[in-house]
Amino acid sequence: MFRMGRRGLPFRRFAHRFPGLENPRSLLKWIIISTLIGVVAGVGAILFYAAIHLASTLFLGGLVGYRPPEPAGEGSTSVMSFWQAAHPWLLPVVTTLGGLLAGAIVFTLAPEAEGHGTDAAIAAFHQGKPIRARIPLIKLVASAITIGSGGSAGREGPAAQISAGFGSLLATLLRLDARERRIALATGMGAGIGAIFRAPLGGALLAAEILYLKDMETEAIIPALIASIVGFSIFGSWSGWNPIFATPEHYDFTQPVQLVYYVVLGLLCGGIGILYARGFYGITELFQRLRLPRWVKPGIGGLLVGLIGLVLPQAIGMGYGWVQLSMSQALLQLPLWVVVLLPFVKILTTGLSVGSGGSGGIFGPGMVIGGMVGAMLWRLGYHLLPGLPASPGPFVIVGMMAMFGGIAHAPLAVMLMVAEMTGNLSLLAPAMIAVSLAYLIVGDNTIYQSQLKTRIDSPAHRLQLTYPLLSMLTVQQAMEPLTLTFQPTQTVAEAELQLRSQGRRGAPVLNEHRRLLGVLTRLDVLRVPVSEREERRVAEAMNSSVLTVREDEALDEVLTELTEKGVSWAPVVAGALPTEQQVIGVLSVAHITRLYRKVASENTRSLSLSSTMHTSEIS
């Protein structure tokens, strides 16, 4: 049987699950990285929030003369009749103009910034790809124009992409490995959403939960908690500390008989959640089939949204103000046909605004749809069903949780987020019933197409979970001691002769202090003309951009890094600081395979021997 290091298996497993907790220096590194991501998340949330309000003032306020109601934590909740606006007939013109402007910006500068940014960030996590530095800024501007001109979209997608993009950029600047890049990206997602919604705990948990249909990225939770709290603190210092939604009264769950109604609400939210996902992507597919310039399509979507807004203005914009009004008896002032139609029309306007190629999130509209489903159920049962809550607020809050918690496959995170956004934790008990049922009804349907089923389906974890034994083995156990090195002043011909005589593919190039300068491989030698190899120096032919591994790294992560970089071996370094690191050996894919087979064979023999002895004792 193999032996673990002095730290012991339990702590190594814990440290492996939460990278950065293995030693104080690494912990300090992740505290700094998470804090920097949180700062960008908070500042980005401020800039995006201000940009939306500026765009709304210019487009809806300045041209149409209409101001939709806002949630109590963000502005005035007063309701203005749409037809009392200065120029209500200009609404289709404004929404069309907003769509065209957003489309021109996105498809001219960064086509990958179209649609909802959260899905793009999830895809970047699984594929291990960096997010281009320009994407967050383009997403911010285009989304602010889409939402400010009346488009039905949310602000979480751009907020997530801003900080996720910074996390990706920071990983590049600090030369973090593939695993650390993924964690930094997920941390940014959670911090951005947690800051813009003033829900740091829910945002941090969302970073771990939203990546999969039926799994969680537990490694991201602690870094995301730090970043989300920092982002929330910065944004809250600027915007205030009140929750987004103010509940008119304190809601308590004191009548178990009401669980029947929450069961119905959960079933409704699950079914309408499926309709939301299929309707949104159905509209997206229709726009993709249109043979028109891509930047024109958001304008067409905006025109249709504006025409719908002339009939049902509650379906344009983010819609948070209407959710706020629906939490009180003011819901009774809305015509019944508006309350019944609004959830379904909101699905349509969101698909037209974002699915056409516009820019904005689908998280916010999903919660609005869920809240209005709860309002619809309460309104239809008002004065008819016994034991109904006196206020629609509980149904609206639980509806938000159940609707998006189910279709986003993030039940725990969304429950906590909505509780933080409303400042109400007392409804978590009935919410568990509704969210669980909605989650079961939804099945494998999802609003985020980049979600994968479990970690084993993600390229980020496939090797780790396919060969779990590798996670308990370290580089030190598999590496080969350093036997061949080159000096930068050697000739390429001398290095070629050494490689051939020892049958090596390559070797590290070290200076007089045994610090790594690069590597020289057979391929590097072949790039040098034969006639020049006697004169050219190793320093001229070597590759100075080198993947290195540490002696205490787990082999599953190292194998992933080697595979992603397309290399078969890497130098092994020891030393706490980069300036102190020395090369102590080399590790190849062959070394990893050899150790894996050896340990697997030893374990199999041990288990077989144990089974035989146990059988003998019984006999």
Residues 6+ apart with CB under 8 A from 517: 488, 509, 510, 511, 539, 542, 544
Residue 264 confidence (pLDDT) above 70 = yes
Q: Within the chain, which residue ranges are assigned CATH 3.10.580.10?
A: 462-601
Amino acid 247: pLDDT: 87
Please name the residues in contact with 616: beta carbons below 8 A apart, sequence gap of 6 or more.
Answer: none
Average pLDDT rounded to a whole number, residues 327-334? 92
pLDDT of residue 180: 83
- Please report, rounded to a whole number, the percentage of residues in the chain having pLDDT higher than 90: 55
Domain 462-601, architecture per CATH: Roll (3.10)
Residue 159: its pLDDT value, please? 86
pLDDT of res. 609: 53
Is the separation of the CB atoms in 187 and 227 below 8 Å?
yes
Q: What is the DSSP string of 342-391?
A: HHHHHHHHHHHHHTTT-B-BSHHHHHHHHHHHHHHHHHHHTTTSTT--SS
User: 55-64, 206-215, 598-607: lowest mean pLDDT where?
Assistant: 598-607
pLDDT, mean of residues 510-518: 86
Q: Give the pLDDT score at 23.
A: 60
Contact 599, 532 (CB under 8 A): no
Residue 348 is predicted with a pLDDT of: 98
Stretch(es) of the chain classified as CATH 1.10.3080.10:
19-457
Q: What is the DSSP string of 12-70?
A: HHHHHHSTT-SSHHHHHHHHHHHHHHHHHHHHHHHHHHHHHHHHHIIIIIIII------
Q: Cβ(360)–Cβ(160) under 8 Å?
A: no
Lowest mean pLDDT among 5-19, 76-90, 288-302: 5-19
Give the pair of three-digit tokens for residue 396.
């609206």
| pLDDT, tens digit, 9 for 90 and up, residues 96-131 | 999 999 999 999 888 877 767 788 888 888 877 777
Higher-confidence residue of 21 and 49: namely 49
Q: Which CATH architecture has domain 19-457?
A: Orthogonal Bundle (1.10)
Alpha-carbon distances of 17 from 29, 180, 344, 471, 495, rounded to whole Å: 16, 12, 42, 10, 42
State pLDDT tens for residues 291-300.
Answer: 999 999 999 9
β-pair partners for 508: 519
Pairing of strands 549-550, 506-510: unpaired
Beta strands, E only, 412-544: 480-481, 506-510, 516-521
CB 577: neighbour CB atoms within 10 A? 7
Give the Cα-Cα-Cα angle 364, 209, 163 (nearest 5 degrees): 60
Of the two residues 493 and 599, the one the predictor is more confident about is: 493
Among 103-112, 227-236, 284-293, 598-607, the minimum mean pLDDT is found in 598-607
pLDDT by residue (tens digit) across 463-487?
555 566 777 888 999 999 888 999 9
Distance CA 233, CA 195 (A): 8
Residue 83: pLDDT band with limits 50, 70, 90: confident
**In the block, which residue shows the tokens 């159920």?**
377
The pLDDT tens digits of the residues spanning 403-442 come to: 999 999 999 999 999 999 998 888 998 999 999 999 999 9
Range with the poorest average pLDDT among 10-24, 184-198, 229-243, 381-395: 10-24
Q: Please report the pLDDT score of residue 618 as a whole number.
A: 46
Who has greater pLDDT, 263 or 15?
Answer: 263
Lowest mean pLDDT among 193-197, 247-251, 287-291, 612-616: 612-616
Flag whether pLDDT at 492 surpasses 70: yes
Tokens 């005589």 -> residue:
501
pLDDT per residue as tens digits for the range 315-325: 999 999 999 99
Q: Write out the H or E segment, with its range, that includes residue 560.
A: helix 555-565
Instruction: Give the per-residue SS3 of 225-266.
Output: HHHHHHHHHHHHHHHCCCCCCCCCCCCCCCCHHHHHHHHHHH
